Amino acid sequence: MNRLQSVRGMHDVLPDEAQLRRRIEQVWMEVAHGFGYEEIRFPLVESTELFRRSIGEATDIVAKEMYTFEDRNEDSLSLRPEGTAGCVRAAIQHGLIPNRQQRLWYLGSFFRHERPQKGRLRQFDQFGVETFGMCGPDIDAEILLLGWQGWQRLGLSPRLVLNTLGNPDERLIWRKQLVEYFSQFESQLEEDDRRRLKTNPLRLLDSKSKSIQDLLEEAPQLENLLGEESRTHFDGLRETLDAHGIDYAIDPRLVRGLDYYDFTVFEWVEESLGAQSALGGGGRYDRLVEQLGGRATPAAGFALGLERIRECLEATATTAVDVYLVALGEEATARMCALGMQLREQMPDLRIRTNMEAGSMKAQLRRADKSGARAVLIMGEEELSQKSVVLKFLRGPEEQQTVLLDNIKSALAEHFAPTG
């Protein structure tokens, strides 16, 4: 019988990874808390209609990537592909929006039927924030500062890329100009781009195809069509970011893959990740609340992909173990076990794992290596009789040394600073 496997693109989080995942989640929750944001949770499944009306029929997410099914009542439901739609739906339904400013955060799993590859999963986790009732550029700046603080705490520094999409009227003119411009070259376009030209011409801007990239050099620019309000908003945001010393790059080709944005859009990008390099993104969506049946309310937010963040941090990840205890023979095993207890008491920051199930020296060292420990303490017959242990480092240039049991604490203290 075939062994059952997890669904393609949907992964288990095993103990090795869970610790780092928890740290990432903790950092974002703490940062959001520190900015006075409140948690909201909403269902994994919503009516398909909600995503169609918010993300947009012509987007890849809605057209190709949703897990949509009929339930037993023949209602069309979908697994949530992102959080903004559900958050807005919940906020309208429970009256969280009118006459109030709201700052919310969420954390959870999302589902998109994309072609799985590095950094692109079919089930992935996002941390997101959504704000309602604030229309100035200050709130755009606040969510970017919130992001900046999270990256700082995690020790990451993704590139912040900004753009403005103007208001719907400005975009409509731009859209027309783009269609006119690209239509002249329709025969040179690949099939996917020809489809985009018909359904969602703005998406041509982030097409990877060479012909589009070349044509974009001469394509009409939205910047030339922006009115006073759009310009002032964008300049206001840039001034605040400059005042806080936040670096950013402006990319007039950044359009994002969801239809609900107006004015500011942004992404945090970590190029070292390769093709799927966006750690997160967001922007303003001032029309969405009204479009989903609420009272017109300005809004802005972002979401981050936690698996991609984990990928960036993996190199610097800490493991569960600092020191692994290896012993050969019954007497040495008992002595080592006692030494472990003594060290845990004397050095509570040190994570010490005792070898179980005996085994040859080679087998025990293999286990030590797998545990991720930086060092092993080894006790064989000779060390037992000399009341010493061998201190051996598994992952650094440090020399192996034989240390008397009486001195082991200070020998370890030289190499393992307390984490506080």
User: Which residues are near ligand HAM by CB under 6 A?
Assistant: 82-84, 112, 114, 119-121, 124, 126, 128, 130, 257-258, 278-283, 285, 301-305, 307-308
Nearest-approach distance from CB 85 to ligand HAM, in angstroms: 8
Helices within 251-360 (DSSP H only): 288-291, 306-313, 330-346
| Nearest to ligand HAM of 161, 347 (CB atom) | 161
Six-digit token string for 295: 């009272």
| Nearest to ligand HAM of 121, 222 (CB atom) | 121
Cβ-proximal residues to 24 (8 Å cutoff; 6+ apart), any chain: 154, 306, 309, 310, 313
Nearest-approach distance from CB 207 to ligand HAM, in angstroms: 17
Nearest-approach distance from CB 62 to ligand HAM, in angstroms: 12
Helices within 125-184 (DSSP H only): 137-154, 168-183
Q: Give the C-alpha separation, 253 to 271, whole Å.
A: 17
Nearest-approach distance from CB 399 to ligand HAM, in angstroms: 43
Nearest-approach distance from CB 176 to ligand HAM, in angstroms: 26
Q: Strand, helix or coil at 68?
A: strand
| Nearest to ligand HAM of 189, 303 (CB atom) | 303
Nearest-approach distance from CB 196 to ligand HAM, in angstroms: 17
Query: Between the CA atoms of 191, 195, 196 and 199, what dihedral angle is there, to the nearest 10 degrees?
Result: 180
| Nearest to ligand HAM of 189, 255 (CB atom) | 255
User: From residue 302, how far is each of 73, 139, 259, 284, 389 by CA, in Å?
Assistant: 34, 12, 14, 9, 53
User: From residue 208, how far is each of 212, 275, 342, 356 by CA, in Å?
Assistant: 8, 10, 60, 53
| Nearest to ligand HAM of 309, 328 (CB atom) | 309
| Nearest to ligand HAM of 130, 322 (CB atom) | 130
| Nearest to ligand HAM of 118, 387 (CB atom) | 118
Residues in the chain: 420
* The residue type at 382: E
Question: Which residue matches tokens 């989640």?
Answer: 25
| Nearest to ligand HAM of 296, 358 (CB atom) | 296
Packing angle of the helix pair 137-154, 15-34 (nearest 10 deg): 140
| Nearest to ligand HAM of 79, 326 (CB atom) | 79
Among residues 59, 56, 62, the alpha carbon closest in space to that of 111 is found at 62
Nearest-approach distance from CB 291 to ligand HAM, in angstroms: 14
Please, what sign has the CA dihedral across residues 334, 339, 340, 344?
positive
| Phi, psi dihedral angles at 9 (to 5 degrees) | 80, 5
Nearest-approach distance from CB 253 to ligand HAM, in angstroms: 15
The residue at minimum Cβ distance from ligand HAM is 305
Nearest-approach distance from CB 35 to ligand HAM, in angstroms: 15
Among residues 53, 54, 36, 8, the alpha carbon closest in space to that of 104 is found at 36
